[in-house]
Amino acid sequence: MQGDAAGQQAGAHDSEWLLTDELRDDDPMDRPHEACGLFGIYAPDMDVARVTFFGLYALQHRGQESAGIVTTTGDPDLREHRRIGLVSQVFNEDSLRGLTGFAAIGHTRYSTTGSNRQENVQPLLADGTLGQFAIGHNGNLTNTLTLHARLMDEGEILGATSDTEVIARMLAIAPGLTYVDKLRHVMPRLQGAYSLVILTPTELIAARDPFGVRPLCLGQINGHWVVASETCALDTVGAEFTREVEPGEVVVINGDGAEGLRSYQGQRSVKRATCLFEYIYFARPDSVMMDRSLYLARQRMGMQLAAEYPVDADVVIGVPDSATPAAAGYAAARGLPYADGLIKNRYIGRTFIQPDQQMRSLGVKMKFNALSAVLKGKRVVMIDDSIVRGTTSRPLVQSLRDAGATEVHLGISSPPFKWPCYLGLDVARRDELIAARLADVADIGREIGADSIHYLSLDGLVKAIDLPGDSFCVGCFTGTYPMPVQMDLADKLALEPTRVRADAEQPLAGASL
C-alpha cells in the first residue's frame, strides 16, 4: 500500500478532541447535518486525482469533517491520501502529485455512524480474497451492530468504528470470483441506506441500495466515465450527466464509452424511497435528481407555501442560502417584494475554537446579521426550509424584531420534522425535535416568538417536486420508514472507545440543544 501512514498516525492523535466538539454541536445552525459526498473517475489519459479533487470540492456541502482520494495504477497496491479537514485543507500540489493512476475515487465525510477519527476517514482500504480495494460510502446502515458482532464472531479484526468498515470487511471475505458476485452476496444483508464507490486495481465500481435513499449518478467527460453523488460535481469537472445509478444496481467501469461500462442487478428493488431532504435542503440547488431541477423544485415549494399561507405582509425574506429559492417563489406567488433581510457571513464555517460566554450569547449573529434598512417598520414573512430544534429560529426572529420589523411571520417550506433520520443524516434525538415536543404548530410559533407560523404540508411538498409521493422516504415527517429501524445516538456511538463515547453524549456547558 502506497500512502502516508505516518501522517495518519499523527492525525489520529488529534481525532478525539475533534470528535467531542463535533458531536456536541460546535455549529449553532439548527439544521440536520450533511450526508457524505462520493466521486469516482476512470480516465487513463487524465489527471484523475486532480479531477477528483475538484469533484469533491463541489461536494463539500455534503460533509466537512474529512476527505480522501485513492487512485490505481494497475499495481496490486492502491495509492491513497486521507485526512481530517476540508477538501482544500487535506490536499495540496504535493499530495495530488503522488496520486497517480488511471482511475480514482474520493470521499468527503460527515459522520453518521462512527465518529470523526482518522481511522474512519474514507475511502477505506481493505485486503480481501480478490486483493486490495478501496470503498467510499454515503448513507447509514441500521443493522451495523448486528453485522459488526457477526464479523467479530467470525474472527475479523476491525480497527475503525464506522459502518463503512463493516461493509468493507463483508466484501473482503464474501464468496465470489468477481466484485459483482461479492456485492450480490453482501447487499441483501445490509439494512439501511448506502451509495458506494469502490476502486480495485483494475475497475471502478458504483452501487446503490435497493431503495435509492442516497443519490448517485453517472456522467462522461471526453468519453470517460465519472460517478458522483450529485450532478453539480459533474458540471464542475466538465462532465455531462448521463443517468442515475438505479436503486439496487451495480455498475462496473473498466474502460471508455459504452463498452467500458457494464450494469448488473445487485439486489432487486421493490420500492423507491429517495430522501426528501435531498430535495428540501441537502443537495445543491444547481443539481438535478430524478429529472427534477432542485432549484425549481424549491422555488415551487415556496409557491405552494404561498397558497397555503397567505399571511398579510409587506416584504418576504429568506434564510440564506438554502431557503432563498423558496422565499423567491413565495414572494412571486404572492406579488410581494423579495429582499435580502438577512446578510450571511460566508466565511464562517465550523470551528473547534469554543467561544466565551459573551460570544456564545451572540449565537446566530456570528452567522447572520439582520438588515434594518430593509426590515424597519415592515411586516415580514421569513421563509426557512426546516426547523429541527428551534434553537436558530428563536434568535433569528428576535434579530428581525431588533432590526425594526413590526411583525415576523415564519413560513417553513417542509412539513414538521418530528422523527430522527436513521438513513444517513445526523439530526437531534426525538425528544429534542421541537415539532415532536410541541404537537400544536401554534405552540411552536409562540416558543420561537413568531407572530404566526406555517409548515408546508406533505402533499404540498410532493406536489412541488412533481414526482409520485411513494418515490420518497418520509420517515422524518411521519415516523414511517421504508425499512426497519431501531437506532438512537447510543447505537451510533456503540463502537467508540468508552471514554470518547461518554464525552460525546454529554453537551458542552452553555451549548444549545
C-alpha distance across the termini of the chain, in Å: 43
Q: Is 508 a domain residue? A: no
User: What's the rounded Cα separation, in Å, for the pair 263 and 278?
Assistant: 25
| Residues with catalytic roles | 36
* Cis bond before residue 321 (omega within 30° of 0): yes
Q: Which of 36, 57, 31, 12 is nearest to 109 (CA)?
A: 36
Instruction: Check residue 338 and report its DSSP letter.
Output: B
Other beta carbons less than 10 A from residue 337's beta carbon: 13
Please check whether residues 254 and 220 belong to one and the same domain. Answer: yes
- SS3 state of residue 207: strand
Q: Is the pLDDT of residue 103 over 60?
A: yes
Q: Which of 130, 70, 57, 131 is nearest to 101 (CA)?
A: 70
Residue type, 436: A
pTM of the model: 0.86
* Domain count for the chain: 2
For 336-395, the pLDDT digits (tens) are 999 999 998 876 554 445 556 565 556 676 788 999 999 999 999 999 999 988 888 999
Please check whether residues 91 and 219 belong to one and the same domain. Answer: yes
Phi, psi of 74 (to 5 degrees): 100, -15
Q: Which of 440, 439, 433 is nearest to 390 (CA)?
A: 433
- What's the average model confidence in pLDDT over 72-97? 96
Please tell me the chain's helix, strand, coil percentages from 3-state DSSP, rounded to the nearest 5.
35, 25, 40
For 20-52, the pLDDT digits (tens) are 233 333 344 465 555 699 999 999 999 999 999
Cβ–Cβ < 8 Å for 304, 368: no
Give 412's strand partners.
Answer: 384, 455
Q: Is 503 a domain residue? A: no
For 311-337, the pLDDT digits (tens) are 999 999 999 988 999 999 999 999 999
Phi, psi of 141 (to 5 degrees): -85, 145
Please check whether residues 228 and 314 belong to one and the same domain. Answer: no
Contact partners, residue 155, CB within 8 Å, separation at least 6: none
User: What's the rounded Cα separation, in Å, for the pair 157 and 244?
Assistant: 35
Please check whether residues 134 and 59 belong to one and the same domain. Answer: yes
Cβ–Cβ < 8 Å for 212, 247: yes
Please check whether residues 212 and 136 belong to one and the same domain. Answer: yes
Lookup: cell for 110? 460527515
For 138-171, the pLDDT digits (tens) are 999 989 899 999 999 999 988 877 899 999 999 9
Q: Which of 221, 241, 273 is the last residue of a domain?
A: 273
Please check whether residues 106 and 207 belong to one and the same domain. Answer: yes
CATH number of the domain residue 56 falls in:
3.60.20.10
Give 69's strand partners.
Answer: 81, 106
Q: Is 493 a domain residue? A: no
Domain span holding position 190:
5-273
Percent of the chain with pLDDT over 70: 82
Q: Which of 242, 258, 273 is the last residue of a domain?
A: 273
Other beta carbons less than 10 A from residue 437's beta carbon: 15
Contact partners, residue 123, CB within 8 Å, separation at least 6: 68, 69, 70, 80, 82, 105, 106, 107, 134, 135, 136, 197, 199
Q: Which of 288, 230, 233, 323 is nearest to 467 (CA)?
A: 288
- What's the average model confidence in pLDDT over 238-242? 98
Q: Is 486 a domain residue? A: no
Question: H/E/C letters for each residue in 361-424?
Answer: HHHHHHCEEECHHHHCCCEEEEEECCCCCCCCHHHHHHHHHHCCCCEEEEEECCCCCCCCCCCC
Contact partners, residue 163, CB within 8 Å, separation at least 6: 113, 114, 137, 140, 141, 144, 147, 192
Please check whether residues 261 and 321 belong to one and the same domain. Answer: no
Cβ–Cβ < 8 Å for 197, 183: no
- Per the prediction, the chain carries an average pLDDT of 86
Q: Which of 240, 297, 277, 264 is nearest to 423 (CA)?
A: 277
- The pLDDT, as a whole number, for residue 159 is 80
Q: Is the pLDDT of residue 252 over 80?
A: yes
Instruction: Check residue 494 and report its DSSP letter.
Output: T
Kindly give the residue spans of alpha helices, DSSP state H, lying in 156-265.
Answer: 163-173, 179-186, 231-237
CATH number of the domain residue 392 falls in:
3.40.50.2020
Please check whether residues 413 and 267 belong to one and the same domain. Answer: no
- SS3 state of residue 152: helix
The burial class, CB within 10 Å (0-12 / 13-18 / 19+), for 177 is exposed
Q: Is 370 a domain residue? A: yes
Please check whether residues 244 and 346 belong to one and the same domain. Answer: no
- The pLDDT, as a whole number, for residue 356 is 61
Cβ–Cβ < 8 Å for 207, 190: no
Residue type, 42: Y
Phi, psi of 136 (to 5 degrees): -120, 145
Q: Is 69 a domain residue? A: yes
Q: Is 492 a domain residue? A: no
* Cis bond before residue 123 (omega within 30° of 0): yes
Q: Is 134 a domain residue? A: yes
User: What's the rounded Cα separation, in Å, for the pair 375 and 405?
Assistant: 5
Please check whether residues 269 and 332 belong to one and the same domain. Answer: no
Cβ–Cβ < 8 Å for 393, 422: no
Q: Is the pLDDT of residue 283 over 50?
A: yes
For 463-495, the pLDDT digits (tens) are 999 999 999 999 999 999 998 776 544 444 455
Please check whether residues 247 and 352 belong to one and the same domain. Answer: no
Q: Which of 238, 273, 308 is the last residue of a domain?
A: 273
Please check whether residues 128 and 265 belong to one and the same domain. Answer: yes
Instruction: Check residue 26 and report its DSSP letter.
Output: S
Q: Is the pLDDT of residue 502 over 70?
A: no
